[in-house]
Amino acid sequence: MTYSIVKVATLIGARRYGSTETTVGWLLTDSRSLRFPEQTLFFALRTQRNDGHKYIPELYRRGVRSFVVKEVPDLASYPEANFLQVPSPLAALQRLAERHRDEFDIPIVGITGSNGKTMVKEWLYQLLSAVAVGTASGERSSLNVTRSPRSYNSQIGVPLSVWLLGEQSQVGLFEAGISQPGEMAALRDIIQPTVGVLTSLGAAHQENFRSMEEKCMEKLQLFHDTAAIVYPSDDDIVSRCVRRSGYQGERIGWSRISDNVEFKVESVQALPDSVSSQITYIYKGVRSSYVIPFIDEASIENSITCAATALYLGLTHEDLAERMPLLEPVAMRLEVKEGQRGLTLINDSYNNDINSLDIALDFVNRRGEASNKLHPSPITLILSDIYQSGESLASLYQQVSNMCKNRGVAKLIGIGDEIASQAALIDVPERHFFHDVEQFVNSTVFSQLANELVLLKGARRFGFERITELLEQKVHETILEVNLQAVVDNLNHFRSFLKTDTKMVCMIKADAYGAGAIEIAKTLQDNRVDYLAVAVADEGVALRKAGITANIMVMNPEMTSFKTLFDYDLEPEVYSFRLMDALIRAARKEGITGWPVHIKLDTGMHRLGFDPKADIDELVDRLQHQTALIPRSVFSHFVGSDSDEFDDFSATQFALFDEGSRKLQSAFSHRILRHMDNSAGIEHFPERQMDMCRLGIGLYGVEPYASEDSTLSTLHSTLKTVSTLKTTILQMRHVKAGDSVGYSRRTILDRDSVIAAIPIGYADGLNRRLGNRHGYCLVNGQKAPYVGNICMDVAMIDVTGIDCQEGDSVEIFGQELPVTVLSDILETIPYEVLTGVSNRVKRIYYQD
């Protein structure tokens, strides 16, 4: 569905500048995701850290003609543009989605809750649009379902989701997520649900609410005008709130205990195959049952929520019994892996539908550009048949074709008969089609894949795992999993302390604190950080070779590396006269002038740097009498910003720096950036942010500043774990009491024990001092102490009493076992543990 620009202006109550007639089909809030410029309406949103107005020139150049703005730019520069001026572009986005929603008289399900929203939404989608799981009854009773892509459930994500409703839509499924009181009313007006689903009430975002009740009441606001709500009646807080809210519609509570509900769960049984469960229920007086291919508690509860909702929406008990066993797990990550022959594999195991294809292509596109702007690796898409009910194959694959074109797909490999039948429609430079995966992997198309960015997107039943298995580099069982989305979230957490124009240096020295500098740099570059900082020139060279174009600062330039600095556009730190003179000589020899350098002052660390009192006059004098170098920034480093204990000393350091750096600045007419805060400094002394900050450990998810003040510590709990070091159990054995484990018999068992061997040793970075029960890892969530001396490549752990088997996953540190637990045991700092993970441990990157 499209709207004329005039209509849009009326709907959002905007004042229009410009007179080009355009139509609006796509809404854009992030300039990087631009796809169909002519039909795009860009909303210049202002957030704490960014301002969409900045991107108007670039977007105009790329063909966008319609903008919603708060401030109208100089119209002469944009002769063909329309600017719709409103007091708040975000509110206008929400308004427009709201008016769009008004056009539809169909069931709309609003889903909220602390956990399980996305799973419930996806499963409802699978159940209602049964074609998606390929059932026989799908033909006769499947619905065209429009739903939020992935977990677009925020104040921006919800309007973008609702905008996807189109003429064919028969049901809408939308998630609503809130993190603060007061947000739900806005989302309710946009979604206007006719049915409400409350999944569960966990502890997420609790910090911003006074009580669970307050949070629950806020969530229930979404359902105010719905005809029915589905909710877990066994949760006392939920049922109390439903009663208190005076809700007037039909209450479909589900319960495993009480008979006095619409949906009574009679029994949940694990089936003998040990991978499925059978759920028997009574809904409105009728007893029936279904089977799901899962046994975990969350899946069981989510399936019950889905069953109650689907029955209310008109699915029959037979439909449920037929479709429930076909539910597919909801994986929500995009995995980036190095493949053989220079391939980069991007595996999107998310549901195979057209919207998620576009999101995945967007991601791949950005990675391609990030790795090499001039010569990006060609993008190859391996795509199976897409199941989407209600739409003609022709229109579906026409959309695929458009997406491929807009996202620069160079090669399409289609797997399945349906996509092959539409081959003529798909306009991609190179195309190949195969009946199934087996035929593909035996073809020369497969064996000739090389030096490409490959996106794999296949419906589950096509078994794309086989392709990944064959293309992946063989992985040592020990891996470091790196969550790139967490890096971005952490970056944003620290940005929220800064003024919008404060610049950010991200420290990616020591291979990005062990997480892997290249992928981290791509992610940071994509998120527009101002500088990346490495320790030595070679680290910078590796980044440049990987296509990183961002500014790079080198903290420890060696005397031998100057030519490399110039060749690869790396900006050195300068900390002494000796270094400065050598650098000037080298620059002159190469005929270089105006090379940017970063001047370090020593204010108390007594490591490297000029003396801010004694050296400044001479420094100014020497800098002024040469043209080879130009001071770009001046900085110093706090010795104890992570602790209140050193507040006085920090103040002294700051005063010294302030004086020295001002003197330097006053000698030059260009602006010299001043910076001092590291991660802890950003949180502890945001008032000392000056022009720039240097973010290190916090980016990697370790809380840098342990404040005494408890209101701050709730804020701090928002950092996300980035790196998780994992391995698997190789072998298990019973060992008798009195026997020893490992070299030199250092652990003697005092009971009959079960001992597991894991393929990680001190050569991988597992500190040998953790052995002999000094430290532990987690096996299926339980503590398993290291026993015996840790060997070079293997360690032994005590798993007595833990339910586990060979092949099970073991967490060394990460999501469940914070790296600080290890560093505390080792009496060191988390930096040492993180950077100690050796190179032979394969890094695997993913994006939620």
Ligand X SMILES: *Cc1c(COP(=O)(O)O)cnc(C)c1O
Q: Which helix or strand (DSSP H or E) is residue 411 part of?
A: strand 409-415
Residue written as tokens 């694959």?
Answer: 397
Q: Which is nearer to ligand X, 557 or 696 (CB)?
A: 696
Catalytic residue (choose from 509, 522, 600, 726):
509
Nearer to ligand X, 41 or 507 (CB): 507
> For 649-736, where are the E strands, in sequence order?
673-675, 692-695, 723-728, 731-735
For the CB of residue 641, give the shortest distance to ligand X in the complex, in Å.
Answer: 8
Nearest CB to ligand X, comparing residues 672 and 680:
680
Sign of CA dihedral 574, 579, 585, 586: negative
Using DSSP's 3-state secondary structure scheme, residue 813 falls into strand
Shortest CB 832 distance to ligand X, Å: 12
SS3 31: helix
Distance CA 433, CA 440 (A): 8
**Least separation, in Å, of the C-beta of 687 and ligand X?**
17
Active site residue 743: yes
346 vs 692, which CB is nearer to ligand X? 692
Q: How far apart are CA 596 and CA 554, in angstroms?
A: 11
Instruction: Name the β-bridge partners of 782.
Output: 779
Which residues pair with residue 254 across a beta bridge?
232, 263
Query: Residue 509 CB, nearest distance to ligand X (Å)?
Result: 6
Q: Are 86 and 9 in contact (CB under 8 A)?
A: no
Question: Could you give the C-alpha distances from 490 to 204, 513, 539, in angstroms and in order?
Answer: 17, 14, 23
Distance CA 142, CA 131 (A): 7
320 vs 507 by CB, closer to ligand X: 507
| Residue 604 found at the interface with ligand X (CB under 6 A) | no
Asked whether position 507 contacts ligand X by CB under 6 A, the answer is yes
> Nearest 10 degrees: CA dihedral of 513, 817, 478, 468?
-90
How far from chain centre, in Å, is Cα 799?
A: 33
Residue 311 C-beta: closest distance to ligand X, Å: 53
Q: Which residues in 348-377 are b (16+ Cβ under 10 Å) and which e?
A: bbbbbbebbbbbbbbbbbbbbbbbeeeebb
* Cβ 701 to ligand X shortest distance, Å: 12
645 DSSP 8-state letter: G
Orientation angle between helical segments 484-495 and 517-526, nearest 10 degrees: 50
CA dihedral over 247, 253, 257, 259, signed as positive or negative? positive
Separation CA 346–CA 361 (nearest Å) = 10
Q: Residue 214 or residue 644: which is nearer to ligand X going by CB?
A: 644
Which residues within the stretch 673-692 sit at the binding site for ligand X (CB under 6 A)?
A: 678-680
Q: Provide the 3-class DSSP secondary structure of residue 261.
A: coil
Q: How far is the CB of 721 from ligand X (least distance, A)?
A: 16
Q: What gap in Å lies between CA 320 and CA 289, rounded to an integer? A: 8
Which residue in the set 97, 119, 261, 697 belongs to the binding site for ligand X (CB under 6 A)? Answer: 697
Nearer Cβ to ligand X (207/832): 832
User: φ and ψ at 758, to 5 degrees?
Assistant: -125, 145
Residue 632 in contact with ligand X, rule: CB under 6 A: no
What minimum distance in Å lies between the beta carbon of 499 and ligand X? 19
* Subset of residues 544 to 573 that bind ligand X, contact rule: CB under 6 A: 555
Binding to ligand X (CB under 6 A): which residues in 115-134? none
Q: Is the CB of 680 or the CB of 777 nearer to ligand X?
A: 680
Number of residue whose CB is nearest ligand X: 696
CA distance linking residue 431 with residue 424, whole number of Å: 10
Question: Do residues 439 and 467 lie in contact, with contact meaning Cβ atoms separated by under 8 Å?
Answer: no
Nearest approach, Cβ of residue 51 and ligand X (Å):
26
Q: Which is nearer to ligand X, 127 or 506 (CB)?
A: 506
Residue with tokens 């002024």: 624
Q: Please tell me which residue in 373, 589, 613, 743 is annotated as part of the active site.
A: 743
State yes or no: is 575 an active-site residue: no
The contact pattern for ligand X, residues 698-717, with x = CB under 6 A and - = no contact, is x-----x-------------
Q: Which residues bind ligand X (CB under 6 A)?
A: 507, 555, 637, 678-680, 694-698, 704
Write out the catalytic residue numbers.
Answer: 509, 743
